[in-house]
Homo-oligomer: A and B are copies of this chain.
Amino acid sequence: MTADDLTLFKKRLAEHGYQVTKAREATFKLLVSAEPQTIREILVKAQGVVDRVSVYRNVGVFEKIGLIHRVHIGWKYKLELSDEFVGHHHHLSCLKCGRVIDIEDEKHIDDFIKEVSAKFGFEPRRHQFEVDGYCKDCRS
C-alpha cells in the first residue's frame, strides 16, 4: 500500500467524525495486505493484535464510509478496497486454486445495465459481476 492510501484512509475517517486509532490502522493495513480476502482471514491475522469484535466493528465502519466494499467470491463475500483506491472492476475466480483475477469492463456491462434498466424503469445503484472457472494454471 502507498503512503497516499494511508493518508486518504485517515482523511476519510476524520471527515466522517471517526477517530484514527491503533486498531483501525492495523485493521486497515491487514485489509490492504491481501486483497480481496474474507473477514475470517483478517481475523486470523489480527489474532493477538486486534480483538475480533473490534475487527468486525471497524470493518463495518470502513464499509459505511466507503473505504472498502464486499465482493461475492464463491458463496462467501470478500472485502476489498473501494473503487476510489483500485478502480471499478470485476473478477474471474478460480474454482480450484482460489486465485482471483481483476478484470476491467469496457462497456459491455454498462450498456447492458442501461438497456435493461430503461426497459423495467429500474434505477441502478450498484452491480456486481463474477465469473467462476479455471485459471490458466489450473485448467490442464
In angstroms, Cα B113 to Cα A105, docked, is 10
Residues of B within 8 A of A115 (CB): 108
Residues of B within 8 A of A121 (CB): 135-136, 139
Interface residue count on the A side (C-beta < 8 Å): 36
Closest-CB distance, A102 to chain B (whole angstroms): 10
Interface centre among A70, A75, A127 (most CB of B within 10 A): A127
Chain B residue at smallest Cβ distance from A94: B122
Q: Is the Cβ of A136 less than 8 Å from the Cβ of B120?
A: yes
Interface centre among A109, A128, A131, A134 (most CB of B within 10 A): A131
Residues of B within 8 A of A113 (CB): 131
Q: Annotate A76-110 by CB proximity to B: 1 below 8 A, 0 otherwise.
A: 01000000000000001011000001010100110
Q: Which residues of A come within 8 Å of B, CB atoms?
A: 70, 72, 75, 77, 92, 94-95, 101, 103, 105, 108-109, 111-113, 115-117, 120-136, 139
